[in-house]
Amino acid sequence: MIKTLIIDDEPLAAGIVEEFLRSDSRFEILEICQDGFEGLKAIQKHQPNLIFLDVQMPKITGFEMLELLDEPPAVIFTTAFDEYALAAFDAKAIDYLLKPFSKSRFQQALNRFLERYEVEQGGQNSAISSLAEKSQRLVVRVKNEIKIIPVDQVSYFEAADDYVNIVTESGAFLKKMTMKSLEEALSPDRFARIHRSYILNLNEVTRIEPYEKDSYLVFLRNGKKLPVSKTGYSRLRQVLGI
């Protein structure tokens, strides 16, 4: 059974999702939650495979709820507001259902989830679907706001314990994720892992110089210097054709 939660403060909307979902015996509805805090507790308790999530809810929004999760489950958004669609897909949503939606449209969303779920159950990398298309934007939480950062505006990424520091001309932003997952999500034609702690935007490189034994420094357009490991230097030479 596919463990599922419905998180929506509108009983009628939640009821429609429940009705549509119960027609598919593969899905088990574990709980229906009326706000984001209830949703957090239910996710921690049940570890669902899929959640249906409203955006505008009391106390915290659906996006804020997701930001509080280290490893959020697959998400299908259900909302009456179309302006959140971009942020939803940047949050790696399976689909974005705009209320009121038909059963056929609901089934399309389920089919998208099932395609990914079947790949994961087949033992392949769980990130394969979300990373099938290389990320063009990153979503970070800045205080109580959601900020969307085009990856082209990023100079480099720096490891910071359990976070990644996203450095841009307009400032630096922390996002909880691993360097490995970030490296997999970025286009290798535009970004290179030059060091265990750094992923570099190749368009920012001005020159590379030897530093110490088997190590180098890369100079960026903004004047910043970053260390380059021996392995990172080999990657740079390959992608830059030097």
Q: How is the chain classified by DSSP, letter by letter?
A: -EEEEEE-S-HHHHHHHHHHHHTSTTEEEEEEESSHHHHHHHHHHH--SEEEE-SS-SSS-HHHHHHT-SS--EEEEEES-GGGHHHHHHTT-SEEEESS--HHHHHHHHHHHHHHHHHHHTTS-TTTTTTSS--SEEEEEETTEEEEEEGGGEEEEEEETTEEEEEETTEEEEEE--HHHHHHHS-TTTEEEEETTEEEEGGGEEEEEE-STT-EEEEETTS-EEEE-HHHHHHHHHHHT-
State yes or no: pLDDT of 139 exceeds 80. no
Ranges in the chain annotated CATH 2.40.50.1020? 138-240
- pTM for this one? 0.52
Mean pLDDT of 136-164: 83
What's the pLDDT score for residue 146? 65
Q: Which CATH code is given to the segment(s) 2-121?
A: 3.40.50.2300
Could you tell me the pLDDT band of residue 127, with boundaries at 50, 70 and 90? very low
Which of the two residues, 51 and 84, has the higher pLDDT score?
51
What's the pLDDT score for residue 87? 75
Q: Which CATH architecture has domain 138-240?
A: Beta Barrel (2.40)
Could you tell me the pLDDT band of residue 35, with boundaries at 50, 70 and 90? very high
State yes or no: pLDDT of 51 exceeds 90. yes
**What percent of the chain clears pLDDT 90, i.e. is strictly above it?**
53
State yes or no: pLDDT of 30 exceeds 70. yes
What's the pLDDT score for residue 133? 42
Mean pLDDT of 168-193: 88
Which of the two residues, 30 and 121, has the higher pLDDT score?
30
Which of the two residues, 88 and 175, has the higher pLDDT score?
175
Ranges in the chain annotated CATH 3.40.50.2300? 2-121
pLDDT averaged over the chain?
86
What's the pLDDT score for residue 125? 37
Which of the two residues, 88 and 103, has the higher pLDDT score?
103
